[in-house]
Structure 1
Amino acid sequence: MTTSDLLLTAVANTFRSKTRTILTILAIFVGAFTLTLTSGLGTGINAYIDDTVSAVGSSDTMTVTKASDDAQGLGAADSGPTEYDPDTVAAGGFGAPGATVVALTPDDVTTLEGVEGVLAVQPTQSLSTDYVEGTSGTKYAVSASALVPGQQFTLTAGTQPDDGTDLQVVIPTSYVDALGFRDDAAAVGQSVTLAVTDATRTQHTVTATVVGVAEESIASPAGASVTPNAALGTALFDAQNVGVPADQVDRYAQATVRFAADATVDQVTNLKDRLATAGYTGTTVADQLGTFTTVIDGIVLVLNAFAIIALLAASFGIVNTLLMSVQERTREIGLMKAMGMGSGRVFALFSLEAAFIGFLGSAIGAGVAMVAGSLVSSALAGSLLSNLPGLTLIAFEPVSIALIVVVVMVIAFVAGTLPAARAAKADPVESLRYE
């Protein structure tokens, strides 16, 4: 019997006892269905986290602040009033509302540049914008967040801002209609005006070109923040600091430190330790989203555990199905061996039957899970998760689906080895005498 004959025979034999086989396939279906859904859940959420990380900053950068026990609002709840420190500045987005940190100065920037492992240092300019105005002529309150090195937005239209001398800005999609633009694509290339007020209470306006429209995300939940490129950020920063004493201008709440893109976890940890020794605190994007990622990974792991339990239960069903098949086909096995089929071929025949049962259960389970997952994800995106644009809760990757099918087939194959081995060891004379 050739290999193709073995395959065809195994497929045909699978449905000799339809009820028993279908029940076994259903058991495998439950495990494959659950495993596919949890895999899709992990894929969808991790993709969203990756997009969020890109929107916050690059994976090879960290936010650095000056370490101080007197800084307010960055740690545990305060036990009482904190003594005023003239060296502190508002923490901006790096802490709770009202939080302060010890200001970084040009000397601190020089010190950071000298720390081993630091490739570049960019102080974060704190911008305080009054409003943004588009073609509608209406002024809207808005905040501006300086562009972080390596930051990449999830855009609905346009391109990422560049490092050139042109004044460019990325606006959130929620502002497109209000600013008077027809849609996201129509906003690209248009001009908007940003206003800041200096220390003398004089208002300055700066005109910039919209180069991109960004989706809102958990990195900017309010959706009321525009992001200028470096050139525009500098123009706004210089305008708002008119009248500020020279020694107060170069004071920063934080700085962005770039390190080697291929740095290992241990190397990043060592860099944090060196920064701590120098009197600074370094926080990577992964640190900022670490708790969220850990919770999601934990949920996916628990759900996967249930799927594995279902598959293990299904494997016992495969063993039972094939043992019964061997019992019912004892004379047939004896006849095949008497006609010259070797033990290896008999073993392969029953193993292929087990693998085929695994394939049917896993393929059907994965297919139904993909349809159900897509429908659920679409429904949630328009209701409960509508405030998280860009999130596809359950997403599927072809490689992951194929891997799940293969894994289930392997489990089924392994489960079928016991009855297959029993069939292979059958004595042809005794089998032919079996009643």
Structure 2
Amino acid sequence: MRTVDVVATAFRNAFRSRLRTSLTVLAIFIGAFTLSLTNGLGTGINRYIDDTVASVGVEDVLTVTKTDDSVPTEGPAEYDPDQIAADGPPGTTTTALTDDDIDTLAGIDGVLGVEPVKAVTTDYVQHDDGDRYQLAVSQFVPGMKVELASGRQVDLDAPDPELVLPEDHVEPLGLGTASDAVGQTVTLAVTDGTGKQVTTEATVVGVAEPGVISMGGAIPNDVLTQELYDLQTTGVPAAQASRYAQASVTFDADAGPEAQQALVDRLADAGYTASTLEDQLGTLTSVIDAIVLVLNGFAVIALIAAGIGIVNTLFMAVQERTREVGLMKAMGLSSPRVFSLFSIEAVVIGLVGSALGVLAAIGVGQLVGSVSGDLLANLPGLTLVAFDPVTVAAVVLGVMAIAFLAGTLPALRAARQDPISSLRYE
């Protein structure tokens, strides 16, 4: 029997017992479907994060904070006058950086520049004499870019105050459309150290679409940030005014990852903690990967159960076709050919189940994408479930490999049968 005949016969024999084979295919289908869908979820979210990091364009900046080893693992932390509010969940604090720390950072080998991040808390934003709305000001990292609905990025070196306004503020402020808002002036208010509310004006140069970066609020240029910071710290003691939650350190990104890690180590030795934007978003990636890994574990369990089903299906097929196997061997079919015949049957079952599971997962992914479009409108560009061709192929080939391994024992049993005993089998 030629190889082509062996394959063709295996395809026909795989569905001789349709009900039994269909149930086995169903078990494989469930495992492949779950595995494909969870991998698609992880791929979609991680791809969005990677695209966000790439679009931001910040590769040569480290966010540096002062390392605090005094935080207890249990119980309340002791009051530290050097701690200030950090850019994080409510109640998060960090040890403040001072001007002396900024000078220390500037003197560390590999540091090209240091810029303290000036935290600004605005009371409201207003256009003309319209309604006042709350507005957060994002911590802007040099080189950062945001997705724009209209206008341009802020010019850090511009002599006049500029900002990129979040898109959801445009209509409430009475600025018209996103394109209409560009070039108009808004008023920003802060409370100074004496408790007095003071204002300054800035020109809207761009409108930001919602995204991971712009969800933090408006993006100011250096002049506006300094103006707001000066107004906010008026009346504050000088020692309190020169305290920063973090600083932006620029370095030579072209030096390579080893040089970057060496710089991070030198900063750590000096008592500072450094991370890139990719590192910070990488925490989210790690959480997503962990969730996907757990879900994939359930899919693998389903595939193992399906593999047991394949073993049972083929063992029963070997028993039912004992005389048929004996006849084929008596007519000269070799044991390796018999082994191949039943192994290919197992692979066919795995192929059908995995292919159907992957196709169903892709269909569900498309459905979820269309349904979740409105729910994820604040994250444009996010495809919740995305499928990588390499991953899809890996799932199908992996399931086929599992099916082949599961079919090995029944195939060996068939290959080792004695033709005379098999022909006498009733």
Asked if TM exceeds 0.5, the reply is yes
Structure 2 counterpart of 1:169, which letter? L
- The residue matched to 1:360 in structure 2 has which SS? helix
1:307 Cα offset (Å): 1.1
Question: Aligned residues, how many?
Answer: 420
Match of 1:253 among 227, 230, 245: 245
Rounded to whole Å, the distance in 1 between the matches of 2:156 and 2:377 is 33
Q: 1:202 Cα shift? A: 5.9
Moved more, 94-103 or 366-375: 94-103
Give SS of 1:333's match.
helix
Give, in whole Å, the separation in 1 of the partners of 2:41 and 2:323: 49
Query: Are 2:209 and 1:214 equivalent residues in the alignment?
Result: yes
1:170-185 aligned at under 5 Å gives the runs 170-180=164-174, 183-184=177-178
Give the distance between the partners of 2:170 and 2:321, measured in 1 at CA.
72
Partner of 2:140: 147
Equivalent in the alignment of 1:407:
398
Find the aligned partners of 1:316 and 1:294 in 2 and give their Cα distance.
33
1:124 maps to which of 117, 128, 144: 117
Q: Deviations over 1:183-229 (max 9, x none)?
A: 55x3574534353568897643222311x423154x67xx5720124
Change in CA separation of 1:37 and 1:67 when aligned onto 2, cut-off 3 Å: closer
The corresponding residue for 2:201 is 205
Query: Residues of 1 paired with 2:165 and 2:360: CA distance?
Result: 40
Compute the displacement of 1:346 (Å): 2.9
15-24 vs 50-59, which moves further: 50-59
Distance 2:200 2:264 in 1: 40
Q: Give the direction of change, closer, same or farther, for the CA distance of 1:339–1:228 in structure 2 (3 Å limit).
A: farther
* Distance in 2 between residues matched to 1:330 and 1:191, nearest whole Å: 86
Query: Are the structure 2 counterparts of residues 248 and 20 from structure 1 closer, same or farther at C-alpha, using a change threshold of 3 Å?
Result: closer
**Which string of whole-angstrom CA distances, capped at 9 and with x for unpartnered residues, describes residues 348-398 of structure 1?**
222221111111111112222333344456556656x78777665444333
1:403 Cα shift? 1.5
1:355 counterpart = 2:347: yes
Unaligned runs of 5+ in 1: none
TM-score (norm 2): 0.78
Check the 8 A contact 1:146/1:230 in 2, yes or no.
Answer: no
Q: Distance in 1 between matches of 2:210 and 2:26?
A: 42
1:208–1:241 CA distance, 2 compared to 1 (3 A):
farther
How much does 1:408 deviate? 0.6
Distance 2:355 2:106 in 1: 55
Q: State how far apart, in whole Å, the 2-side matches of 1:128 and 1:299 are.
A: 35
* Aligned mates of 2:129, 2:335 — CA distance in 1: 83
SS at match of 2:10: helix
Report the TM-score, using the length of structure 1 for normalisation.
Answer: 0.77
Asked if structure 1 preserves the Cα contact closer than 8 Å seen for 2:44 and 2:386, the reply is yes
Cα distance between partner residues in 1 of 2:101 and 2:266: 14
Query: Structure 2 vs 1, CA of residues 192 and 78 (structure 1 numbering), >3 Å: closer, same or farther?
Result: farther
- Is 1:109 equivalent to 2:105 in the alignment? no
What SS is found at the alignment partner of 2:119? coil
Query: 1:20: which partner in 2?
Result: 20
Identity %: 50
Which residue in 2 is equivalent to 1:418?
409
Kept in 2, the 8 Å contact 1:74–1:95? The answer is no
Instruction: State the AA in 1 paired with 2:203.
Output: T
Q: Determine the C-alpha separation between the residues in 1 that align with 2:5 and 2:128.
A: 73
Matched ranges for 1:177-326 at <5 A? 177-180=171-174, 183-184=177-178, 186=179, 189-195=182-188, 203-210=199-206, 212-217=207-212, 223=215, 225-230=217-222, 233=225, 252-259=244-251, 261=253, 262-263=256-257, 268=261, 271-285=263-277, 288=280, 293-326=285-318
Q: Are the structure 2 counterparts of residues 241 and 402 from structure 1 closer, same or farther at C-alpha, using a change threshold of 3 Å?
A: same
* Residue aligned with 1:144, SS: coil
Offset at 1:299? Answer: 2.9
Q: CA RMSD in A?
A: 4.3
Q: How does 1:336-355 map to 2 (within 5 A)?
A: 336-355=328-347
1:367 matches 2:359? yes
Q: Is the partner of 2:29 in helix, strand or coil?
A: helix
- CA distances 1:106-141 after superposition (whole Å, capped 9, x unpaired): x43332133244454332233344544458955433
| 1:231/1:344 CA distance change after superposition, 3 Å | farther
C-alpha deviations, 1:144-169, integer Å up to 9, x for none?
22421454435566665566648653
Name the CA shift for 1:168/1:411 in 2 (closer, same or farther; >3 Å). Answer: farther
CA apart distance, 1:410: 1.0
Alignment CA distance shift 1:111-1:81 (3 Å):
closer
